[in-house]
Amino acid sequence: MTELACGEDYDLTLTAINHNCQVETLTGVSFSTRPCPPLHVGVDLQCGTHTATLSWEQREGLQFYVASATSRAGGYTGSCNTSSSSCQFPALDCGETYSFTVTAHSSLCQSELSSTVEIKTEPCQPDQVTATGSCDSETMVVVAWAEAEGAVVYMVTALGDLGYMTAFQTNESSLEAELPCGQIYSFTVIGQDESCDSPISDAAEFRTVPCVPQHVESYTVCENSLGSVSWAESEGAESYTAVAAGTDGHTHMCTTNSTSCTWEDLHCGDLYTVHVISNDYLCSSSPSNSTTVRTAPCVPQNLVPTLDCGKRVGSLTWDLSHGADFYMVTAETNAGHKVELSTNDTNAYISEFQCGQEYYLSVQAVDSECRSAPSPPATLRTEPCNPTSISSTMDCLSNIAVVTWAVSEGGAEYYTTTVEHEDGQSKSCMSSSFQCGLPDLRCGQNYTVTVTASNQHCHSDPSVVNTL
């Protein structure tokens, strides 16, 4: 007998048939057909547990069910006997496709296999994760890993030690990422399919180059050889290198783990361009924006003063100062008389000197913004002042004229007294004191008397004329 329905109970009857009649007789025999294959078979994967749950529709009259699982790769075959409507398959391999069937069993027979259902287990954990880069590529990082079985796409997460976090998705086994500077990043990879994520990979670390220093500022101006700069702290920096490049081609470097640098050996009269680089143990940042440090012009040297006694004009010369646009010349006495002038040459002429004074002369070099310190002073003594309070008397018995005067300012070393007759004839005498005698003047004559003060360099103008 064929074409009997599965899972049914049948009673057997016999029927006798001839040409005219038929007789039906109950045999008292009954039987059951084999169970029907289970229906509504489904499988569910519990992500992260490597466990699949197979379920089906339970029917009455059955003793138990046998569920089977087979991997597509052929490396796994498992079964489960149960009287319920579901069965669990633990310890499934990652990244594998499994086929599931179930048969129903009665006391005598088993059903045909149910329809086959398949499930793909969660992707395997990515491994061999690496993060590489170079100092030249600065913040570009290449993350790579071995392909994970079952993964359709990969989720790569980068977490910086300063809190920055970002994620990338790719269907390749590597990617390039541009990340902020100055952080140590931890990279992890997760494989994903349509349903599940793999376990997270072991982490790989990479340090991006230190950040470029910001807010670089100079806070010294017009010092002779001193220059200082400061900047804001850079993320990822373990030290800093500040470089000052002068217009004359020389450079000065300063390495520090603070955020400022001071040079004490800069060249005077120069304009320095300064930039700062941050460093870690392996890489250096790009140079910062630059600032400038201007040093004062060089202090004038080798001052040489002279005095033109005839013109009563002082002159001063000095060596050329690097960085100077012009010069300020100052002449001053202890008594407070002061003369100032400017010149763009390396010499100056001063006609405002007072007689009988010692002047201290100094020069400062000046550019558009700065002025040097004063030069070491040079001294210049002007001519003695004219003698004053001239008095002349005649000693009639000895026929000697005696001339006296007051001391002259300016340290006269000697005096010259001259008496002159109206016919042009004259006599003179020299004295280091304040009087002088002239003998043998003609009687009954009128003479004019003048006195001149002298030192080893110059003579004063003649005094006011006195009549004898």
Tens digits of per-residue pLDDT, 104-147? 999 889 999 999 999 999 999 999 999 999 998 888 999 999 99
The whole-number average pLDDT for the span 449-465 is 88
Give how far Cα 262 sits from Cα of 96, 252, 253, 274, 304, Å.
Answer: 66, 10, 10, 12, 35
Distance from C-alpha of 132 to C-alpha of 344, rounded to nearest angstrom: 61
Q: Please check the confidence at residue 400 and state whether its pLDDT lies above 90.
A: no
Contact partners, residue 249, CB within 8 Å, separation at least 6? none
Where residue 403 falls among pLDDT bands split at 50, 70, 90?
A: very high
Q: How many C-beta atoms lie closer than 10 Å to residue 323's C-beta?
A: 21
pTM reported for the whole predicted model = 0.70
Tell me which of 47 and 1 has the higher pLDDT.
Answer: 47
Burial class (CB in 10 A: 0-12, 13-18, 19+), 408: buried
Identify whether the C-beta of residue 372 lies closer than 8 Å to the C-beta of residue 365: yes
In SS3 terms, 86-106 reads as: EEEECCCCCCCEEEEEEEEEC
pLDDT number for residue 397: 79
User: How confident is the model over 204-237, as pLDDT tens digits?
Assistant: 999 999 999 999 999 888 888 899 999 999 999 9
Identify whether the C-beta of residue 188 lies closer than 8 Å to the C-beta of residue 129: yes
Q: How far apart are the first and last CA of the chain?
A: 183
pLDDT number for residue 119: 93
- Identity at 45, one-letter amino acid code: L
CATH topology for the 1-121 domain? Immunoglobulin-like (2.60.40)
Structure tokens at 307: 């005095």
Contact partners, residue 325, CB within 8 Å, separation at least 6? 297, 344, 366, 367, 368
Write the CATH number of the domain with boundaries 217-294: 2.60.40.10
Distance from C-alpha of 68 to C-alpha of 66, rounded to nearest angstrom: 7
Distance from C-alpha of 356 to C-alpha of 304, rounded to nearest angstrom: 20
Where residue 461 falls among pLDDT bands split at 50, 70, 90?
A: confident
- 231-235, 321-325, 392-396: least confidently modelled range: 392-396
pLDDT number for residue 233: 96
- Short-list 261, 443, 271, 260, CA closest to 368: 271
Q: Please check the confidence at residue 24 and state whether its pLDDT lies above 90.
A: no
Structure tokens at 241: 């290198």
Where residue 268 falls among pLDDT bands split at 50, 70, 90?
A: very high
> Mapping DSSP to helix (H, G, I), strand (E, B) and coil, where does residue 259 land?
coil
Burial class (CB in 10 A: 0-12, 13-18, 19+), 164: middle
The whole-number average pLDDT for the span 160-189 is 96
The whole-number average pLDDT for the span 353-380 is 94
Q: Please check the confidence at residue 240 and state whether its pLDDT lies above 80.
A: yes
The one-character DSSP state at 179 is -
Distance from C-alpha of 147 to C-alpha of 47, rounded to nearest angstrom: 20
What average pLDDT does the structure give for the chain? 92
pLDDT number for residue 22: 87
- 316-320, 326-330, 344-348, 386-390: least confidently modelled range: 386-390
Identify whether the C-beta of residue 215 lies closer than 8 Å to the C-beta of residue 231: yes
φ/ψ of 93, rounded to 5, equals: -75, 145
Instruction: Match 């002349």 to its residue by tokens.
Output: 392
Q: Where are the domains of the chain?
A: 1-121, 130-207, 217-294, 304-381, 388-467
Contact partners, residue 41, CB within 8 Å, separation at least 6? 54, 55, 56, 100, 101, 102, 114, 115, 117
Distance from C-alpha of 92 to C-alpha of 47, rounded to nearest angstrom: 11
Domain pair 130-207 / 217-294, same fold: yes
pLDDT number for residue 12: 87
pLDDT above 70 coverage of the chain, percent? 100
CATH topology for the 388-467 domain? Immunoglobulin-like (2.60.40)
Write the CATH number of the domain with boundaries 304-381: 2.60.40.10
The whole-number average pLDDT for the span 4-18 is 86
The whole-number average pLDDT for the span 427-448 is 88
The whole-number average pLDDT for the span 257-274 is 95
Tell me which of 297 and 77 has the higher pLDDT.
Answer: 297
Burial 100-116 (b: 16+ CB within 10 A, else e): bbbbbbbeeebbeebee
Identify whether the C-beta of residue 349 lies closer than 8 Å to the C-beta of residue 314: yes
CATH topology for the 130-207 domain? Immunoglobulin-like (2.60.40)
The one-character DSSP state at 323 is T
pLDDT number for residue 81: 94
pLDDT number for residue 137: 84
The whole-number average pLDDT for the span 265-269 is 93
DSSP of 8-28 = -EEEEEEEEE-SS-EEEEEEE
C-alpha torsion angle, residues 149, 153, 159, 163 (rounded to 10): -150
